[in-house]
Structure 1
Amino acid sequence: MKTTKVAVLASDQLIGAESVGLVRNARELEHVDLAAAEVVLLIEHVVTRSSFAALHSCYPRLPATPRTRCVVVTDHLEPGTMTYALSCGLAAVLPLHEIDGQRLTQAILSVRQGNAHFPAHLQGELVSELARIHQDVLVPSGLTAAGLTEREVDVLTLLADGFDTDEIAAKLCYSERTVKNVLYRMMTRYNLGNRTEAVAFAVRAGVC
């Protein structure tokens, strides 16, 4: 049976030892050092942004692919940390006072398969943080949630519909040079090789 490799991080030695025991008792899991982990289990009474910063600093030493994911077990996640935590690989948050071996194993296996698990109040916090970022950062810069400008979205939408450069220019009242420059800058920014890749990127981002 293929096992999921799990590293345990906990500042409390007793909690850490108990958690390692839970991992070792699950036949689907294998306790490993941090450098070999597929899932990192972070267990603290209080988890802050600094907790994730310390974890993030370890990532250059962790396998690059697939990205190591993090399951947090805590009784308190510091407000305002969700978006940063997600960038550090956060994929699940479980309550420390309710944890048991079966629930922990199920969460780790689910996360390893690409799923995420967050309590309702943290989902609400994440939505609020994303709305704030959209309003305070993206809108003033004229960007969409995908990091594309409105002009880039307009050009990509028409490109996805099969229009050529001259047709796009006519529909948007741009010069052909402007259309080419818009595409070139966007493709360079996202390291896209051709227009087909640019359209595929836009489709994945949900903008066309």
Structure 2
Amino acid sequence: MTATLTAAPGATATTLPLRILPSRGADRVRAVAHRAGLDCAIGHGQPGTVTVLVTDDAERALRRTPSSGPLLLVCDTVGRAGLLEALRTGAVALRRADLTEESLTAAVRRAGAPHPSIPYPELSHLLTTGSEPGSRTPHEDRPPALTSRQMSVLRLMAEGHGNAGIAQLLHCSEHTVKNVVYEVMARLGARNRAHAVARAVRHGLI
């Protein structure tokens, strides 16, 4: 089923393209969307549509599901391995036990954002439950030195700002911000913005 979630009359106007894959528990996701005051109307899978998959285990679902656009997993279990896999693929994972009107809306927006972010509680869980196989020890994994401009951009990235928003806040061009983001990712050895934020939290930079 493909649906477009649109704010109900009186709410803040926003449209969230949403495609809910048929699965056990999908009806509950639709019901939560309705309770949030969102109008579920049939759509046509326009660009930027967030695919929602209700699954038992996030890690297994991510390995089976082809990466074909923004993905939100509503799952029974999401451990460290699942969060790492979500970070690698750019997907968003939401535990079924945490499913509420607010959390669903926030998760869909995060999944559909140009630069997906990871909430601090998930980062904390990811970074405090052991090390990845083959990862370096804390003594070997020393924090990289970042300039004040790079730190400013990194903090705003962590707050979920895109390049345009960062440029406006720092009074510089988007081109400058883009270059600084690339520098930050290179210094942190990160694959994408969310990974850069995760590594920065691990190093205690933010």
Scaled by the length of structure 1, what TM-score is found? 0.47
Structure 1 or 2: more helix by fraction: 1
Structure (1 or 2) with the larger CA radius of gyration: 1
